[in-house]
Every structure is written in C-alpha cells, then in structure tokens.
Structure 1
Amino acid sequence: MVALRVAVAGASGKVGREVVTALLREPDLQLVGGIGRRSAGQDIGEVAGAGRIGIPIDRDVRQLLQRTPVDVLVDFTEAQAALAHAFACVDAGVHLVVGTTGMSRAELEDLETRCRQRGVGAVVSPNFAVGALLMMRLAAIVAPYMPRCEIVEMHHDAKLDAPSGTALRTAALIAQARGQGDDDRPAVPIHSVRLPGLVAHQAVIFGLEGQTLTIRHDSTSRRSYVPGVLLAVRRVTELRGVHSLEEILFGAPPAGAGGAGLTPRPYPA
C-alpha cells in the first residue's frame, strides 16, 4: 500500500496540531510537511506535541512544494491565505481538504473552475465534525414542516468570521429545503456569540404554535474534526472539482428536503 503524502497548512494552529497528531497515527497516510509563518523552521512533530520527527514547518506553500512531493494539502488557516494555498496547490496538481471559512462565493467558483481544468479534487467544508453535518441535514428535513426558525452559533473569541460558515451553510440548506432558492442572504436570522471558553456550538431552533424543536451540536474539543478530515483526505484524490464533506457522507439529499439539491456549493459567501 502506497501512503498518501499529506501536508497541513496552519500546522501550529489548534486544529492543525490535532490533524498533525492524527496523521502520525495513520499507516496509510504519510505526514510530509506543514505551513506556518510564525512556526516556520520548527519541527512539526514538536509543535504538535508529538515529539521530534525531523520534518520542518515551511513558511509558505511554494517553499513546501519545492521541498517535498505532496498529494493532499489540509488547510485550516484564514480565508485569503487558504485561497493562495489552494491556487498554488491546484497548479501543482495537489488535492485539497479545506476547513477554512470566509471565502466568497466568487472565490469558491474560481477554485472550482481551476480544479476542473487541472483534474484536481477539493473537499471544502465549513465544519468537519460529523455531528455538525448531521445537525445541518436534520435541520433541512424539519424546515418544510416548521417554517419559522432561528440559528444561534457560538464560538471561541478568536474566530475571525461571523456568522460562521456552518451557520451560513445551515441557512442555505433550510432555504433550499423550503424551495426558496440559494442566494447570498441568510434564509433565517443568525445570532453569533464569541466568548472565551467556547469551542464550536450551534442550535437551530424551530417554532410552531405551542411548541419548539431545537437541533443542537456541540464540539467540546477540536478532535471532533479529525475523523471528517481523515475521511476527506482518503477520498479527495478520487474527486474532480470542489465538493463538500456532505456529499461524501450522504450523497443524495434527504427525503422531505424539498427536492432541491443540498450540496451545489460547499457553503455560501
């Protein structure tokens, strides 16, 4: 078995360190490098708390690609850096798994075009926690039957974007399930909370006369993202163009979701 060569952008970040540690445990995946401006030159294993493994963190994606062959880049950085990483990787024929949020719809469509032209696959998802994707899918099932709802999303105080990509994706799925189309405006009100002590939490609250229904997901550790990331890494080389983790997990839209496809884009602007 030939192991997939994987690098991590944002290797010294909170999610990046979890991904690095997980990759070191997988026999079919080979960690070959990482990107981190502030941690450049440091050993990626030591940064992740896994001990020295002799692989330095590179300052930028081009330095990484010049130093070692890469099959898949996992990116948990920030929107503009992730886009630059993605374009450089597509040009080099490297597949992508992107958990960074905040990219615009136009930027994602540009990435889709480039991936198709180069025969490269990308999995772009606002959330790699399987439970969060189930929460969004269940919200789409409920939406046609309970026409009023609001979203409350709560994250750590260092999160750059608000509303979160998960909340925007949930709103888009609810709109599609109700046959309302897929535009750039959130389909339902979204309330964003940013506080220390939080990780990632979202509740979709539906209301009808005399009753409410709440669908809630809580990530209490960034380890919750790891199984979804590893699944995407293993599948992305089979894909062409930009896809979502929803497509890999669920395929077709759920029954009762209004007939509209639930995964035309990874997430809206």
Structure 2
Amino acid sequence: MIGLTKIIVAGFKGRMGATAVDMVLNHDGFELVGVYDPVATEKNLNEVAGYADQNVPVLTLEQVPDVTPDVWIDFTIPKAAVANTKFALEHHISPVIGTTGFKAEEVAALKQLSKEQGVGGLIAPNFGLTAVLMMQFAKQAAKYFPDVEIIEMHHDNKLDAPSGTAIKTAEMMAEVRAQKEQGNPNEKETLKGARGANYDGMHIHSVRLPGLIAHQQVQFGGVGEGLTIRQDTYDRVSFMTGVALACEKVTAAHELFEGLENFL
C-alpha cells in the first residue's frame, strides 16, 4: 500500500469517530492502520458490529508508533484531545482535530510545539464546507452590520456550550466588526442568562435538543433591514469531505492551523 496516507482514528467508539472510520475505509488514498479509544475493550475493529471483514487493531498509546501513522484524526473530548494532539505532534504524526472546547492557552502551546517539531496539523471547530462558508460570509457582513447575534443549535448530548463553531464565528467577526455592546444598555435580564453569553459585545445563544445535529444562525440587524446567514447539518457524513481534505493536505504543512479555511 505504498503511497497511501496511513491514518489512526481516535474516539472511534463515538458517532463522529465511527463516521470518520467509515470515511477512511472507503477512501482510495487512505489506509486505516489503527483505532484508539481508552475505554475500548476490543482488540480489533472486527469485533465491532458492522466491521466483521476489517482487520484493524485497536491500539494503546504505546502501540501507536509501531504502525507509523501519518495522520491522527481525533473526535474525542477536550481534555483527551489536548493530550492526544500533544502526543501526535511529539511522535511526528499530523493531527486533524475535530474535538472542540480547547482553551486559547492550550491551542497556543500546541502551536508552539508543532513549530518546534516541524509537524503540520489542524484544529477545526467545524469540518462542514457550508459551515466554513457561513463563517466567512458572517465575517464579511460584520464589517457593515455591527449589530449581530449568534444562535447555535446542537443535539442534547453535546458537551460544550457555546459550540466551537459559534466561538470561532464570533472571533472572526470581532476581527473586522466595529466595537459595540449589542443590545440596549438599559436592558435588565428578568431571568438570568436570557441574553446568552457575551463575546466582545456580541451575544451567543446555545440550544440543545434531541433530533438536532449541528445548526447555526448568524442574525444581523440594521436600520429597516436585516440579514440572516444560516447553516444546517442534517447528517454527520457531511463533515467527512472536510476531514478527508485535511488529511490529504496536513502532512505537507509545518505548523498547526486553526480552521479548515486554511486548507481550502
């Protein structure tokens, strides 16, 4: 299998991790050389329902270097993902991280480590191409409409709020938006939290309901007009186009990037 990109998927027991496993197995340019999950009791992927014909080892961290992977795909939880990213960079494996909830100082430290190691990587709050476009469009609109609020909606099992996508959107808008505290300065919350979280004067509202996957609306208001930019994810498979793109390009990089737009 010379020429194939050798990939490990961390968090393969979760929904996004399982979707990533399927993507790698069905991609002509990739080879799944192992899967990892600290709570897994299986020794091989063929012990998992639906993968009876696959011979892919379930690895411990100590075993990972033995299969010489090129890329580490991570859909785990923030605490684990930070340690996993550090491990990958230290072992010259390019991380492609879809886990959200990283702290700014954690990302900064990982970026520094990637430069020291000369290993490329990507942390992306969202791998959906429509989500990337939504963030780019919102950034353009924020130049002209400083009055804006973000409503992000996800399934009820999501661990972090606001979502990484919402925070990234707010960060991107803050780069070009005129400083303004959104809302009436004299308003009073009769129920604490009614106005949502505040990021640089912009309000972010998080909705968590069963039946949802990932959705975000960026709503702008102007004098006599309004603009709504909305993105909807109906199936987790939509994220895999971006994950595959990152896996194809990340090994040619020499630093850790934030956001899929860096590889588009």
TM tier, shorter chain? 0.7 to 0.9
1:120 Cα offset (Å):
0.5
What is aligned with 2:40?
Answer: 39
What is aligned with 1:221?
Answer: 235
Structure 2 length normalisation: TM-score? Answer: 0.87
Identical counterparts, % of pairs: 40
CA distance 1:111–1:215, shift in 2 (3 Å): same
Q: Measure, in 1, the Cα distance between the counterparts of 2:210 and 2:243.
A: 25
The gaps in structure 1 that reach 5 residues or longer are 250-269
Give runs of aligned pairs for residues 114-263 of structure 1, distance below 5 A: 114-178=113-177, 186-187=199-200, 188-243=202-257, 244-249=259-264
Structure 1, residues 197-253: CA drift from partner, whole Å, max 9, x if none? 11000000001122211100011111011000000001000111111311111xxxx
1:86 Cα offset (Å):
1.1
Asked whether the 8 Å contact 1:9–1:77 carries over to 2, the reply is: yes
CA distance 1:226–1:47, shift in 2 (3 Å): farther
Report how many residues are paired.
243
Give the match's secondary structure for 2:246.
Answer: helix
The gaps in structure 2 that reach 5 residues or longer are 180-197
Higher mean alpha-carbon deviation, 5-14 vs 47-56, is at: 47-56
Asked whether the 8 Å contact 1:201–1:217 carries over to 2, the reply is: yes
What is aligned with 1:52?
Answer: 53
Q: Measure, in 1, the Cα distance between the counterparts of 2:143 and 2:28.
A: 44
Higher mean alpha-carbon deviation, 114-123 vs 38-47, is at: 38-47
Asked whether the 8 Å contact 2:146–2:178 carries over to 1, the reply is: no
In the alignment, structure 1 residue 18 sits paired with structure 2 residue 12:
no
If you compute each CA radius of gyration, which structure gives the higher value, 1 or 2? Answer: 2
Asked whether the 8 Å contact 1:20–1:45 carries over to 2, the reply is: no
Asked whether the 8 Å contact 1:35–1:64 carries over to 2, the reply is: no
Report the aligned-residue RMSD: 1.6
Q: Measure, in 2, the Cα distance between the counterparts of 1:10 and 1:57.
A: 11
Asked whether the 8 Å contact 1:44–1:52 carries over to 2, the reply is: no
What is aligned with 2:28?
Answer: 27
